[in-house]
Structures are given as C-alpha cells and as structure tokens.
Chain A
Amino acid sequence: MAHDTPVVTRSAEQQKYYRANTKAYMQRQVTNFAIMIFLTLIAFAAVMADFSKNLILPLILLLAGIQVVLQLYAFMHMEEKDAHEIGVVTMFMWTGAFFAFMMFLAFVTVIWW
C-alpha cells in the first residue's frame, strides 16, 4: 500500500484556475446529459408516432449507438489519453464489442425455430 506520491500544492491562482476547469468540465457533462435525454425522447417519440418499421429500426439503433458512445467517452472518460493503460482498456472494450457483434450475428442467423 505504501506508495510515494509527491504532494503538489496549488497556489491561490492555480486553485482558482483548477476550480474553473472542474466547473467547465461539469457543465460539459450536463450538456452531454441533455443530449442523451434528447436522443431518448426522439427514440420513444419515433416509436409512439408509429412511423414505418424500416425507418424506426435504423433510427433507434443509431440513437442508442450515439448514446452509448457518449456514456463511454464522456461519462466514463475513455477519451482521456493519459489515463493509466488506456490503450489496453480501449482494446479490451472494442474486442468485447466485436464479440458482441459476432454473437448477435450468429444467434439471429443460425438459430431458428
């Protein structure tokens, strides 16, 4: 558990800058959240409005895709390039996504009743 970390003290100016940064960060996240809510509303509205199936299916799947990317990259910070071993993390997540797609493909094309 013992692990040496240098303690860096921010000056009053630096602290002010730091707080401004975290505040801007939170405002960005609230914007991301508003976008997610908006995408969800469109998806539900499209289904309620009873458009043609060929229009709704690609639309709601696309909206879900955008929303998941927002969650992963904005809320979960996969965009932070200096995070610890983020390359390994990204590779694992994309491999997981690849397996997910293959499984989906296999199950809907091979299994029939």
Chain B
Amino acid sequence: MDTLKKYTPETWPAHAEQVTLEGKNKFVGFWLFLACEIVLFASLFATYLALKNKGPAGMEFSTQELYELPLAFAMTMILLTSSLTSVYAMYHMKNYNFKGVQLWMGITVLLGFSFLCLEIYEFNHYVSLGFTFGSSAFASAFYTLVGTHGFHVTVGLVWITALILRNAKRGLNLYNAPKYFVASLYWHFIDVVWVFIFTVVYLMGVVG
C-alpha cells in the first residue's frame, strides 16, 4: 500500500500519524528532539536567573522598570490561543477533514505571526530606550533567552507555512499526516517554553 493512497472518513485510521513506520519514527524522534530542547532552554533560563539585574554596566535598567505586563499578557494570550487552534487542526485531521486542518493551521500561523510582531516591537522598544544586547550581563541573558524562543517561533511559522503550501493540492494521506502532527507538537512545545518565560522572566521580573 502506498502512503499517498486516498482515504475516506470511514477508512481513515484514528491515529493516522502513527500508522506507518515513518510516522512512528517521526513521533519518537521528534519527542527526543523536544527533550533536548528542554535542556537547551533550561541552560538559558538558568543563565538568565543567575544574571538577572546584574551589571557590571547598564544598571539603570532593571526588570521592575523595563517590563510591561500588559504586553506580556497580550503575547501570552495570543500564543496560548494559537496552541488551541493547532489542537483544532489535529481534531479535523482525526475526522479526515483536510480543509479544516489547513484552515486551523493557517489561523495558528497568523496568531504566531502576530505574537512575533509584538516581540519585535518589544525588543525594538527596549533598544530605543538604550537597553541593548551588550548593555549588561542581564541584557545579554534576557535577549538570548527570549530571542531563542522568538527564533523557535519563526522556525515554526516557516515550517507550518511550508506544510500548508506544499500539501495544498495533495489532500490528507498517511504520508503527510505525521508531518502535520509533528508540527503541532512543536508548536505546543513553543507554548510550554513561553509559559515559563512569562512566569520566570516577566511576572517574577515585575515582582523583583
């Protein structure tokens, strides 16, 4: 049986992403990648916590004065919602509704893009205040941590957009079901990291 075979809603398997050997391998392999990503982000979080509000220069910028909670709140809500929209995409995948998958993945990309715009605005704002990457140990740790997350969002946006375009005329099959599934796993992981960023960086930063 070839993986590009057409299915109907009645014959479509419940866990289409784990039916083929390739799908199974992608599933496990991707989780192993995510476990490694935990370690990457853990090192950046630990660095940030160790260097938070530390100089030697640029001491005029502290977490209490710099961060603005409304912006962090808006970014959090947008990213959380985009996590739900990708769950909707996976729900439509279970029902073999390809248009639903494409639509909700598209909404996820739009939400992710607006998140990225807010982050660029935030960084731009800080730089205009004079808080740049080289200002202090704190600044470097902050930009590296939040920037690495932003980079992951960018990668996710390019990835999911490519998936949507590449499979537009193909329809759903056992070949691309694991691809969509793994992309949605990645997107949830981005949200997991952001939960810690808004808690550890922004909320704990405002508290002091």
Interface residues of A (CB under 8 A from B): 1-5, 7-10, 15, 18-19, 22, 25-26, 29-30, 33, 36-37, 40, 43-44, 47-48, 53, 56-57, 60-61, 63-64, 67-68, 71-72, 75-76, 83-85, 88-89, 92-93, 95-97, 99-101, 103-104, 106-108, 111, 113
Chain A interface mostly: helix
**A40→B80 contact, CB < 8 A:** yes
**B18→A36 contact, CB < 8 A:** no
With A96-B36, A99-B39, A107-B50 given, name 10 new contacts (CB 8 A). A8-B11, A25-B94, A36-B80, A44-B76, A47-B203, A64-B196, A85-B27, A97-B38, A108-B46, A108-B49
Task: Give the contacts of B72-118 with A (CB-CB under 8 A).
Answer: 73, 76-77, 80, 83-84, 87-88, 91, 94-95
**B18→A83 contact, CB < 8 A:** yes
Contact partners of B87 in chain A: CB under 8 A:
26, 29, 33, 75
The answer, among A3, A33, A40, A60, for a CB contact under 8 Å with B3, is A3
**B10→A104 contact, CB < 8 A:** no
How many residues on B have C-beta within 8 angstroms of the other chain's C-beta atoms? 66
Known: A40-B77, A47-B206, A113-B54. A63 touches B199 (CB 8 A): yes
In the complex, what distance in Å separates the CA atom of A15 from the CA atom of B199? Answer: 43
**A75→B188 contact, CB < 8 A:** yes
In the complex, what distance in Å separates the CA atom of A57 from the CA atom of B203? Answer: 9
The answer, among B35, B46, B137, B203, for a CB contact under 8 Å with A107, is B46
Interface mask (B177-207 → A, CB under 8 Å = 1, otherwise 0): 0000000010011011001101110011011
The answer, among A63, A93, A100, A108, for a CB contact under 8 Å with B31, is A93
In the complex, what distance in Å separates the CA atom of A71 from the CA atom of B13? Answer: 24
